[in-house]
């Protein structure tokens, strides 16, 4: 029998990503549209365990579609990984009369939701929010597009100074253990080489490629390195290695870090967040649970949590070839 949903909770969990606020707004307003009460849950699963809830209406989310970060705050909760922690969270939800929740986060957050659903038969729905784009079942996670634009803008600036001094830059970008950000910004910013976890370029090929760049008359070189790159050396070790083997290069390093997670979301991420929020709430209302909403073939789609978590989001290897051709 279809359970009537009267109160939906919404939380952001794991690393924040641009577009999370736009997704909170979309969940809250879709609830208001369908006359369902909505509760914001602060600090991810930590706040769920503590019963840190606030009732939200359509006006509570005004002026946030363009804001980075998350107004609900986020956390990576250790306590929610324990049976006791999840039981405490369940008791708090029951006490507040909340009968379903939408979690905006990454694979760790979805794993938590999946276990919780199994233990308490509690309706849950996920919205993929992470700059890494590492979740199966959606071509884009929330925040990914914004992060790409942020990083490309920064690399353009680094290129200005690199060309002025004829320097080589190693630029480390985020992405945990996947290379989506590195690969796309590498092509978008015209990098000479791109190092990603999915492919082991090898140090010899790197040197060979840098030699080619030098002899072809380039005034600067940019190598984009994904933080989880397979070569197994940090950007600082790469710098030392190249300087030892190619004295003709003056090398600098730039680790972009958490600035990649900040800033106002792109229009793409705002629209995506709005669509995902509507789909998440309306799926719960129609009795669906334990799914992640995602973008597939330009439309909103649902992927079971276990597939979203276990599956791999594949990089586009053709982009590596495109990059090789472009950096001739
Ligand atoms: O998952 C998002 C992400 O920014 C990754 O790209 C990065 O590896 C990680 O989070 C950093 O985590 P923290 O903010 O906990 O240092």
Q: What is the pLDDT of residues 154-189, one digit of tens each?
A: 999 999 999 999 999 999 999 999 999 999 999 999
- C-alpha 313, offset from chain centre: 12
The model scores a pTM over 0.95: yes
- Amino acid 230: pLDDT: 84
- Residue 176, marked binder: yes
User: With 60 as the cut, is the pLDDT of residue 82 above it?
Assistant: yes
Average pLDDT of the chain is 96
Residue the block writes with tokens 């958490």: 258
Catalytic residues, by residue number, are: 132
User: With 50 as the cut, is the pLDDT of residue 92 above it?
Assistant: yes
Q: What is the mean pLDDT of residues 278-285?
A: 98
Give the residue, by CA position, lying nearest to ligand 1 atom 10. Answer: 15
Proportion of the chain above pLDDT 90, given as a percent: 95
- Amino acid 101: pLDDT: 98
- Residue 26, marked binder: yes
Q: Is 127 in the pocket of ligand 1 (CB under 6 A)?
A: no
Query: Which domains does the chain carry?
Result: 7-143+265-310 (3.40.50.450), 145-261 (3.40.50.460)
CB 136 within 8 A of CB 302: no
CA 258 to CA 132: how far, in whole Å?
Answer: 12
Closest CA to 98 of 33, 32, 54: 54
User: With 80 as the cut, is the pLDDT of residue 75 above it?
Assistant: yes
Q: What is the pLDDT of residues 53-74, one digit of tens each?
A: 999 999 999 999 999 999 999 9
- Amino acid 3: pLDDT: 67
User: With 80 as the cut, is the pLDDT of residue 127 above it?
Assistant: yes
User: With 80 as the cut, is the pLDDT of residue 2 above it?
Assistant: no
CB contact burial 107-129 (16+ within 10 A = b; e otherwise): bbbbbbbbbbbeebebbbbbbbb
Q: Mutate which of 16, 74, 129, 176 to test ligand 1's pocket (most atoms within 8 Å of Cβ)?
A: 176
Q: H or E element: which one contains 54? A: strand 53-56
Q: Is 180 in the pocket of ligand 1 (CB under 6 A)?
A: no
- Amino acid 1: pLDDT: 42
pLDDT bin (cut points 50, 70, 90) of residue 219 is confident
CA distances from 179 to 18, 149, 223 (A): 19, 16, 13
- Residue 28, marked binder: yes
Report angle CA 294, 297, 298 to the nearest 5 degrees.
75
């Amino acid at each position: 029998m279809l359970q009537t949903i009267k109160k939906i909770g919404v939380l952001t969990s794991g690393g924040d990503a641009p577009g999370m606020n736009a997704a909170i707004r979309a969940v809250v307003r879709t609830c208001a549209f369908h006359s369902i009460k909505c509760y914001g849950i602060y600090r991810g699963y930590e706040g769920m365990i503590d019963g840190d809830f606030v009732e939200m209406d359509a006006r509570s989310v005004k002026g946030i579609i363009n804001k980075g970060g998350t107004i609900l705050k986020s956390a990576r909760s250790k306590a929610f990984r324990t049976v006791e922690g999840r039981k405490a969270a369940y008791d708090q939800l029951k006490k507040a009369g909340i009968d379903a929740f939408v979690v905006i986060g990454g694979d760790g957050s979805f794993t938590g939701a999946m276990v919780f659903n199994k233990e308490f038969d509690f309706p849950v729905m996920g919205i993929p929010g992470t700059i890494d784009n590492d979740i199966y079942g959606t071509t884009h996670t929330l925040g990914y597009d914004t992060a790409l634009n942020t990083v490309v803008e920064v690399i353009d600036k680094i290129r200005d100074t690199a060309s002025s001094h004829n320097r080589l830059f190693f630029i480390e970008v985020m992405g945990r253990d996947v290379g989506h950000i590195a690969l796309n910004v590498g092509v978008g910013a015209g990098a000479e080489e791109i190092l990603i976890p999915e492919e082991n370029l090898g140090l010899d090929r790197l040197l060979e490629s840098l030699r080619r760049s030098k002899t072809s008359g380039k005034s600067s070189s940019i190598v984009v390195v994904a933080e989880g790159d397979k070569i197994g050396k940090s950007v600082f070790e790469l710098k030392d290695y190249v300087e030892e083997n190619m004295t003709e290069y003056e090398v600098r390093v730039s680790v972009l870090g958490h600035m990649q997670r900040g800033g106002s979301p792109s229009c793409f991420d705002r629209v995506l967040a709005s669509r995902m929020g509507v789909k998440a709430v309306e799926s719960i209302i129609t009795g669906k649970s334990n799914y992640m909403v995602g973008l597939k073939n330009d439309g909103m789609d649902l992927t079971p949590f276990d597939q979203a978590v276990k599956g791999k989001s594949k990089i586009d290897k053709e982009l590596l070839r495109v990059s090789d051709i472009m950096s001739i």
